[in-house]
């Protein structure tokens, strides 16, 4: 597992790292694209959980017909069964969809016992969980923006802080998120999202690309106040903004 997630391996002192790589073995669960019944994912619910090795998932939560969502990818720790047996105070609907084929490391009880020798890795895993909660807080702040086009613009740059790739003409966000998923992520209706994306494209801020989305210009100033955006993204050159006249390519639907 540590070979698949080098960031975790780097937490271990070099003298112990090779041994840890040999000992920290886990089963792997492969998920094809489509709906995922996540509550059936683990044979035992007493371990650490599931670690995303690669791929992309969306968790969707609904209350009274309104939905929210979060995007999860490599490095995220999941416990999709946690809380499923708690007595409900609200009627909450949850669901998972695999956007890109995904591999999950099963961090079960046996793995947890092996990992006990390496508390540095445990600290990193807890840090991942904390980071996920912080990202959700940023998402909450984004959806409180009054205009949907502003929400979408901020959301794209927030996601780019993790998945973005700096290119000569733009920042590429290689996530194939449909208009429906974007609607859940921004607490908006799908037709409103489609209109807002057209407006962002007209203004030369966001274009639909062949493998995701292309961001031009700089991140919204309000987002920079909410979350730390990597310097290489925040420093996107003004030359990229000069592509405002570029035509938008086909929407991802």
Render pLDDT for 15-60 as a digit per residue (tens, 0 to 9). Answer: 999 999 999 999 999 999 999 988 766 555 678 999 999 999 999 9
The rounded distance, in Å, linking the Cα atoms of 239 and 215 is 12
Residue 69 has pLDDT above 70, yes or no: yes
Please check whether residue 235 lies inside any domain of the structure.
yes
Structure-block tokens of residue 43 = 């044979």
Residue 233 has pLDDT above 60, yes or no: yes
Task: Please tell me whether residues 68 and 108 are part of one structural domain.
Answer: yes
Please check whether residue 215 lies inside any domain of the structure.
yes
Query: β-strands 92-107, 27-31: how paired?
Result: antiparallel
Strand residues in the chain grouped as ranges (E):
27-31, 34-36, 49-63, 66-73, 77-78, 92-107, 165-166, 171-173, 206-209, 212-215
- Containing 239, the helix (H) or strand (E) segment is helix 238-241
Round the CA-based radius of gyration of the chain to a whole number and report it.
20
Task: Please tell me whether residues 95 and 162 are part of one structural domain.
Answer: no
Residue 247 has pLDDT above 60, yes or no: no
The rounded distance, in Å, linking the Cα atoms of 27 and 41 is 12
111-154 tens-digit pLDDT: 999 999 999 999 999 999 999 999 999 999 999 999 999 999 99
pLDDT value of residue 237: 39
Domain range for 155 is 147-245
Provide the whole-model pTM. Answer: 0.82
Residues 44/73, Cβ–Cβ less than 8 Å: no
Residue 209 has pLDDT above 70, yes or no: yes
Q: How many CA atoms within 13 Å lie on the side-chain side of 245?
A: 1
Mean pLDDT score of the chain: 85
Task: Please tell me whether residues 180 and 105 are part of one structural domain.
Answer: no
pLDDT band at residue 87 using 50, 70 and 90 as cut-offs: low
The rounded distance, in Å, linking the Cα atoms of 40 and 49 is 12
Residues 6+ apart with CB under 8 A from 248: 198, 201, 202, 207, 208
- Containing 85, the helix (H) or strand (E) segment is none
pLDDT band at residue 82 using 50, 70 and 90 as cut-offs: confident
What domain count does the chain have? 2
pLDDT value of residue 47: 86
Q: Where a domain ends, among 85, 107, 142?
A: 142
Measured CA to CA in angstroms, residue 119 lies from 4, 78, 175, 252 at distances of 18, 19, 33, 43
């Amino acid at each position: 597992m540590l070979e698949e997630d080098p960031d975790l391996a780097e937490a271990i002192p070099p003298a112990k790292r090779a041994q840890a790589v040999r000992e920290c073995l886990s089963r792997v669960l492969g998920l094809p694209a489509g709906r995922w019944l996540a509550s059936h994912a683990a044979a035992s619910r007493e371990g650490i959980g599931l670690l995303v090795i690669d791929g992309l998932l969306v968790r969707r939560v609904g209350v009274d017909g309104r939905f929210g969502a979060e995007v999860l990818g490599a490095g995220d720790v999941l416990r999709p069964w946690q809380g499923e047996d708690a007595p409900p105070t609200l009627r909450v609907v949850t669901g998972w969809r695999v956007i890109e084929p995904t591999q999950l490391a099963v961090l079960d009880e046996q793995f947890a016992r092996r990992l006990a020798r390496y508390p540095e890795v445990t600290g990193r895993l807890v840090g991942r969980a904390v980071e996920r909660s912080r990202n959700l807080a940023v998402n909450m702040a984004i959806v409180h923006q009054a205009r949907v086009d502003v929400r979408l613009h901020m959301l794209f740059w927030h996601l780019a802080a993790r998945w973005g790739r700096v290119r000569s003409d733009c920042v590429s966000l290689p996530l194939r998120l449909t208009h429906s998923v974007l609607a859940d992520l921004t607490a908006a209706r799908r037709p409103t999202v489609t209109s807002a994306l057209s407006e962002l494209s007209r203004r030369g801020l966001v274009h639909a690309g062949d493998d995701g989305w292309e961001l031009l210009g700089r991140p919204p100033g309000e987002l920079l106040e909410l979350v730390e955006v990597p310097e290489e993204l925040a420093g996107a050159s003004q030359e990229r903004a000069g592509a405002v006249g570029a035509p938008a390519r086909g929407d991802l639907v």
